[in-house]
Amino acid sequence: MSTYAERGATGSQKLMVFVLSMSLYGLATLISELIPSVQIGIVELSVEFFLFIPLTLAMLFDPLSAALGAATGELVFSEIMLGQFGGLGELEKFLTVTIAVYLAGLMVRDPKNIKQVALAAISGPAIQLAMSAVVDIVKVQVAVDDFEAIPGLPESVFATEGFSFLNDLCFSGILFCLLPTIFLVPSLYGKIEPLLGCKPRTATDDAAPALSGRVVAWSVVGFAVAIAAACISKAGMSIIEWEVDWAESQTAVLAGIAVAAVAALIVGFWARRSAQLKNA
């Protein structure tokens, strides 16, 4: 059985984490498409994401593989498989999801530490939502997008985006990120790692990746690229953008759910089989 350092250097194990995160999060995003939103005054209760899935994987396994898998899963299953692709504009969501999940995963040194897990679990969606809000503000400020005011709020993009940020964080961030993650991470710790032939992460594991100034700096660079991509796309230079007639149809959603579920089952079987052969 490999150590965490060996796991981090093993391509097959990273690939399994990537595909598992991609398929499970892709499946979750498709399911969220079927859940209706509820409007109570100016407050909208809607399921923005099931980010607890990649967050859990990022805290237990390789954070970067889980983060890239989640971003890829959302792009493939909730965009391309639904018959649409936003071109360069898709890069914004891809980068913000990757950065948020990656940073949250790095924040957890000991998956048994509930405080660390809880802080990272709420920080992940907070980072992603904050970056999305900043992108929307910048697009309005540079006049590539129109400002849409919310009735009952001051006619300011800052007030609108700030309210949307708090609304989504307090609802989706807590119910579908914080609570499931603080339950799943301790529950799965020590049980799911053997499927990949790995030892569980520990607080004294110096080989595990950690949050650093360099990581934060590269995250800022990635966020700047996301802002630029969003603005360029909104200005009409999305490069490759298409949408078919059956885009976002019920049939497309159900077909995507089936494909994502099958992919998750295959990678689960593959991981279990690989672990059995390795330990034989």
Tell me the pLDDT tens digit for each residue of 4-42.
444 444 777 788 889 999 999 988 888 888 887 787 777
* Predicted confidence (pLDDT) per residue in 117-167, tens digit: 999 999 999 999 999 999 999 988 887 777 776 766 677 888 888 888 998
Burial class from Cβ neighbours inside 10 Å (0-12, 13-18, 19+) for residue 183 reads: middle
What local confidence, expressed as pLDDT, does residue 9 receive? 41
Q: Output the pTM of the full model.
A: 0.88
Residues 6+ apart with CB under 8 A from 74: 25, 26, 29, 93, 94, 97
Number of domains in the chain: 1
Higher pLDDT, 45 or 169: 169
Q: Is the pLDDT of residue 248 over 80?
A: no
Tens-digit pLDDT profile for residues 180-205: 999 999 999 988 887 777 777 776 66
What range defines the domain where residue 27 resides?
4-279
